[in-house]
């Protein structure tokens, strides 16, 4: 059994979800917060576009998770077309926390109280390895695009 005592509680929940899905991704604890894609990329030593930002939006009032490349900003009009919603807005911090159980800057693709409808930026397919938050602003984990798609059940869409 792996000792997870060094991980924050929310990251241990993420680890459990990964293990239940058959993944062995190693959650890395960073010395400083990686609340932005640029900060995470600098800490990891990867291209900022290989950072899979976990963003919670409201699509016609309902929360959804969008895993988007740190290399660009998600365009709400493109998102609306991709998910078939009339209106897309960023979710407030309170909705992010209640929907995911995690704080902005540390939202993982999994480990939420109830799975959210998830959409994945098609541009993340360009990378052999992508990095996502692991439930806490100081934790990250490497995944392949296919692993991300599989563990989230996410639909691949253009976000720009």
Read off the pLDDT of residues 31-65 as tens digits, 9 standing for 90 and up: 887 778 888 999 999 999 999 999 999 999 999 99
Flag whether 35 is in a domain.
yes
Flag whether 102 is in a domain.
yes
Flag whether 28 is in a domain.
yes
Flag whether 53 is in a domain.
yes
Flag whether 4 is in a domain.
no
- In degrees rounded to 5, what are phi and psi of residue 140? -140, 165
Flag whether 2 is in a domain.
no
Strands (DSSP E) found in the chain: 28-29, 51-59, 62-69, 88-90, 118-121, 130-133, 139-143, 155-157
- Residue whose structure tokens are 């992508």: 130
Instruction: Give the range of the structural domain holding residue 121, as residue numbers without chain letter.
Output: 9-157
Query: DSSP secondary-structure letter at 117?
Result: P
Flag whether 1 is in a domain.
no
Flag whether 3 is in a domain.
no
Weakly modelled stretches of the chain, pLDDT under 70 = 1-2
pTM, to two decimals? 0.94
pLDDT of residue 152: 97
pLDDT of residue 89: 97
Domain count, the chain: 1
pLDDT of residue 1: 52
**11 neighbors 141 (Cβ within 8 angstroms):** no
Among the listed residues 112, 5, 132, the one whose alpha carbon sits nearest the alpha carbon of residue 63: 112
Domain harbouring 35, CATH code: 3.90.960.10
């Amino acid at each position: 059994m792996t000792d997870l005592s060094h991980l924050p509680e929310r990251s241990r929940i993420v680890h459990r979800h990964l293990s239940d899905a058959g993944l062995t991704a190693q959650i890395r604890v960073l010395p400083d917060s990686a609340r932005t894609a640029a900060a995470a990329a600098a800490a990891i030593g990867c291209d900022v576009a290989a950072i899979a930002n976990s963003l919670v939006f409201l699509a016609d009032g309902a929360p959804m998770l969008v895993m988007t490349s740190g290399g660009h900003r998600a365009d709400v009009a493109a998102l609306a077309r991709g998910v078939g919603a009339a209106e897309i807005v960023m979710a407030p911090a309170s909705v992010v926390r209640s929907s995911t159980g995690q704080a902005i800057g540390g939202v993982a693709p999994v480990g939420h109280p109830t799975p959210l409808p998830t959409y994945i930026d098609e541009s993340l397919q360009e990378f052999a390895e992508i990095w996502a938050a692991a439930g806490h602003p100081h934790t990250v984990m490497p995944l392949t695009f296919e692993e991300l798609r599989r563990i989230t059940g996410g639909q691949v869409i253009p976000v720009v």
